[in-house]
């Protein structure tokens, strides 16, 4: 009985409030920090079971990303640095919601279902963001790991992508890199420095970048990394956490949603600026033109820049590898047209949510994926990495092919393939702009976004809406898609789709068209159709103008 008694005692120190129900979603668990202590302890337990099951190291990250400072959350990281599988997301929800007296039974249920050998050794890596609640909550995770006799390593303050990186390094026997923060900086910065050697006569002005750290963990880590950059990139860091509040009027989510610069940042006309989110797994770029007009370069623009660069290198290297860009229905139509028609790159559309994008990107030699919100990365297949490696080491090829192969090799090394990573994406973007000798204005001008509008319609039950074709067409309620199709015909270059929210009883409406007036009018027309056909509640949606 010894172990069971110890387990009871530990779990009693992290009791669950009776009746509280939480769901493990795309972002793991996320809510007000006061409600999370028992969840953290139980995720420590679950991570230990997952480690025993996979015979590998598992990660647990304590963060609520771009949520307000008073919230917190937790995500599990699987052995290759990817997100945990849907079955185990289900176990997470089950374990989180078991009442105190049923916790042991819930654990035993998972152990039985998965046939877990409890004498198998377990290893769990734990990381946390800068929230005031993160210290005690990550301790609860560590308590959970030790309650089941697992070994843990506490990485302390790290970005979410850094923890994903550590887990991947550990489970590839350090083939992916060294599982330390120092090792992470070395790998990325060495690759960055090698890449920028190919940039002819870069002035100090061109090496300058303004970074909004969202008053979060990303700011701390950029500071730590700076010495490794050997003055190849000059960073002015704002919202570094010394005075402002995490994510408050700053960070990638604020900039993308509000379409304006963060507070606490100095923007000079034409200067490159970027914003991280709270846990540094998203990035967006922006600048002000000479008239002071704000221009945002979101995930679509980033994916376009990166895929264009890679496609050109593959051609120069004479490598026959298939490259694709994976987008969601929210990707701006102009970006899709540019990629397909001008760049002749394969474009795949998937359902909203990083795991769908990541999964689709794995089907190609090189898969570039970014959500419009700035979360994304590039995946290289084993075969693609080996081909690039062999070509880079081949002494009998001409100089142009050799240069392209070496650039590709360093590009692979600067990218964090486990998950979207603001620091890694920033270094890649900066290297590409330097190598191509491009200004942010020139990058922005690759294509012009079609004006768009997003609206929400309150409904009594979001489940009446069912979609297909990567959420681009509504299957139910009857007549809704037909209504959308005929409304879209009234505007030029128009497109619209609706999808149920994953979290609340609202239907999200997206519309784009040739002008902002048209996009706004179409979004309103479609909102009315949703309200009338899908059980809208409250007053009818009002026109925007």
Residues recognised as catalytic: 65
373 is in an annotated binding site: yes
- Provide the 8-state DSSP code for 279: T
265 preceded by a cis bond (ω within 30 of 0): no
Annotated binding-site residue? 508 = yes
Quote the CA–CA distance of 46 and 41 in Å, as a whole number. Answer: 9
Report yes or no: 98 and 109 within 8 Å, Cβ to Cβ: no
Q: Crossing angle, helix 399-414 and helix 299-317, to 10 degrees? A: 150
- Judge whether 503 is annotated as a binding position: yes
Q: Is 500 annotated as a binding residue?
A: yes
Distances (CA, A) of 310 to 283, 340, 452: 20, 15, 29
Cβ contacts of residue 318 below 8 Å, gap of 6+? 401
According to DSSP, the residues that pair with 380 across neighbouring strands are 366
- The two tokens of residue 225 are 């990394």
**Would you say 89 is a known binding-site residue?**
no
Residue 374 zone, left/alpha/beta (φ > 0; ψ -120 to 50; rest): left
- Is 499 annotated as ligand-binding? yes
371 assigned to a ligand binding site: yes
Q: Compute the C-alpha angle 380/385/391, nearest 5°.
A: 140
Residue 279 marked in a binding site: yes
Q: What backbone torsions phi and psi does residue 337 show, to the nearest 5 degrees?
A: -60, -45
Q: How far is CA 430 from CA 47, 196, 241, in A?
A: 36, 9, 24
Q: What's the rounded Cα separation, in Å, for the pair 367 and 377?
A: 8
Cα gap 415→425, rounded to integer Å: 7
Q: Is 399 annotated as a binding residue?
A: no
Dihedral of alpha carbons 222, 223, 227, 231, sign: positive
Helix or strand run (H / E) with residue 144: helix 134-147
Strands (E), 265-363: 273-276, 283-288, 294-297, 323-328, 346-350
Question: Max Cα separation, the chain?
Answer: 74
Q: Is 492 annotated as a binding residue?
A: no
User: Does 281 count as an annotated binding residue?
Assistant: yes
Binding residue numbers: 65, 277, 279, 281, 371-373, 499-503, 508
List, as residue ranges, the binding site for substrate.
Answer: 371-373, 499-503, 508
**Binding residue ranges for Mg(2+):** 65, 277, 279, 281
């Amino acid at each position: 009985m010894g172990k069971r008694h110890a387990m009871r005692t530990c779990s009693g120190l992290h009791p669950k409030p009776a009746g509280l129900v939480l769901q493990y979603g795309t972002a793991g668990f996320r809510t007000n920090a006061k409600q999370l202590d028992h969840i953290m302890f139980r995720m420590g337990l679950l991570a230990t079971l997952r480690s025993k099951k996979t015979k590998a190291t598992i990660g647990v990250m304590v963060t609520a990303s771009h949520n307000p400072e008073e919230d917190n959350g937790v995500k599990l990281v699987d052995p290759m640095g990817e997100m945990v599988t849907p079955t185990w997301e289900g176990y997470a929800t089950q374990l989180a919601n078991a009442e105190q007296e049923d916790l042991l039974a819930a654990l035993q249920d998972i152990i039985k279902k998965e046939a877990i050998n409890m004498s198998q050794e377990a290893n769990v890596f734990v990381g946390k963001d800068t929230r005031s609640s993160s210290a005690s909550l990550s301790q609860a995770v560590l308590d959970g790991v030790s309650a089941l006799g697992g070994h843990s390593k506490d990485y302390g303050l790290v970005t979410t992508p850094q923890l994903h990186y550590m887990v991947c390094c550990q489970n590839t026997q350090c083939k992916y890199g060294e599982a330390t923060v120092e090792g992470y900086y070395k790998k990325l910065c060495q690759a960055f420095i090698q890449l920028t050697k190919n940039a002819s006569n870069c002035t100090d002005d061109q090496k300058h970048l303004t970074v909004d750290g969202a008053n979060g963990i990303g700011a701390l880590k950029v500071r730590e990394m700076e010495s490794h950059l050997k003055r190849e990139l000059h960073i002015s860091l704002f919202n570094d956490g010394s005075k402002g509040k995490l994510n408050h009027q700053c960070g990638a989510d604020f900039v993308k949603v509000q379409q304006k610069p963060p507070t606490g940042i100095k923007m000079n006309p034409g200067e490159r600026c970027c914003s991280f989110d709270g846990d540094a797994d998203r990035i967006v770029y922006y600048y002000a033109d000479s008239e002071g007009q704000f221009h945002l370069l979101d995930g679509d623009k980033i994916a376009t820049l990166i895929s264009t660069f890679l496609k050109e290198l593959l051609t120069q290297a004479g490598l026959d590898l298939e490259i694709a860009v994976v987008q969601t229905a929210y990707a701006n139509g102009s970006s899709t047209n540019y990629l397909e028609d001008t760049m002749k790159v394969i474009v795949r559309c998937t359902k909203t949510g990083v795991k769908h994008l990541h999964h689709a990107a794995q089907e190609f030699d090189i898969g570039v994926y970014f959500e419009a919100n700035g979360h994304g990365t590039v995946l290289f297949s084993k075969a693609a990495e080996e081909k690039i490696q062999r070509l880079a080491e081949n002494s009998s090829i001409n100089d142009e092919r050799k240069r392209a192969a070496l650039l590709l090799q360093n590009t692979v090394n600067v990218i964090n393939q486990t998950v979207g990573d603001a620091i890694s994406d920033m270094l890649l973007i900066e290297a590409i702009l330097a190598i191509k000798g491009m200004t942010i204005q020139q990058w922005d001008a690759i294509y012009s976004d079609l004006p768009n509008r997003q609206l929400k319609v309150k409904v009594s039950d979001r489940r009446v809406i069912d979609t297909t074709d990567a959420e681009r067409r509504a299957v139910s309620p009857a007549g809704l898609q037909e209504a959308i199709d005929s409304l879209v015909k009234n505007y030029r270059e128009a497109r619209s789709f609706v999808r149920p929210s994953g979290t609340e009883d609202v239907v999200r409406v997206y519309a784009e068209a040739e002008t902002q007036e048209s996009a706004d009018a179409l979004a309103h027309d479609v909102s009315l159709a949703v309200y009338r056909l899908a059980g809208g509640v409250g007053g009818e949606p009002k026109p925007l103008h």
